[in-house]
Amino acid sequence: MQLFDTHAHIGLINEDPIEQLIIVQEAKQSGVKHIVSICNNLHDFFQVYQNLSSAPHVLHSIGVSPSEVQNPGKDWELKIEEGTKLDRVVAIGEIGLDYYRKFGDRDSQIELFVRQLELAARLDFPVIIHNREAGADVFDILSEKLPPKGGILHCYSENWEYAKKALDLNLFISFAGNVTYRNARNLQETAKHMPIDRMLIESESPFMIPAFYRGKRNKPSYLHATAEFLAELRGLSLEELNEQLYRNSLTVFGLSE
């Protein structure tokens, strides 16, 4: 079995560099062949990147999330460009809109989002998209500004109708542990009916713990529980599903292996 965790906040699971290495090695032993490490701000990105320099199976995405809109950091665009030159950096993100938490104002969030989409287009990277209660604006912006390399709607939270529109763009849809929750019917309908060659899986750790592990702090090694749920939902063997999800992950990040 080989899994590809397309979204994990390693630095939020534990701040200690040794513990971070233990977490990613534990995941590898559980069948997670690759992890994409996500940081909300650039300071954390460079710190976690350094901490995990001895873990070549960990890939990285760099970007400024909407939570940092009021303080993206000095010369943040230049720092993103510098970061994309590092080994194993495969995407720009997570970027997007979050109207639930109301980080800054709407216009400021949109400006930060659009500038990073334009940067991703110029640097020829895919993007990892955060969307919380901002689906209409996210879709409208991506319809005009999605980079040629496409991207991922991470921790998908919309319904099947939204997914059908999004799939007309060069987007993949990634499911986290919340798809396993009893009340997640919209997510389950989407996961059941969408084209399997556009589906991804993520831990979104330390958040969105799969139902089987409820009460614990999420980590990439629990990703198998989400995969098992999706395999049953799709009526596929676990091996067949995992093989397809792994191929999809290589495709979206432009990797050969």
Q: Show binding-site residues.
A: 7, 9, 94, 130, 154
Detail the residues annotated as belonging to a binding site for a divalent metal cation. Answer: 7, 9, 94, 130, 154
Between the alpha carbon of residue 250 and those of residues 6, 38, 53, 90, 199, the distances in Å are 10, 17, 21, 10, 12
Name residue 61's amino acid.
S
In the sheet with 151-153, reading across from the earlier edge strand, the strands are 3-8, 32-38, 58-62, 89-98, 127-132, 151-153, 171-175, 199-201
Taking alpha carbons only, the member of 238, 248, 103 closest to residue 172 is 248
Distance CA 118, CA 21 (A): 33
| Token output for 119 | 């940067």
112, burial (CB in 10 Å: exposed 0-12, middle 13-18, buried 19+): buried
Helix (H) and strand (E) counts in the chain: 10, 8
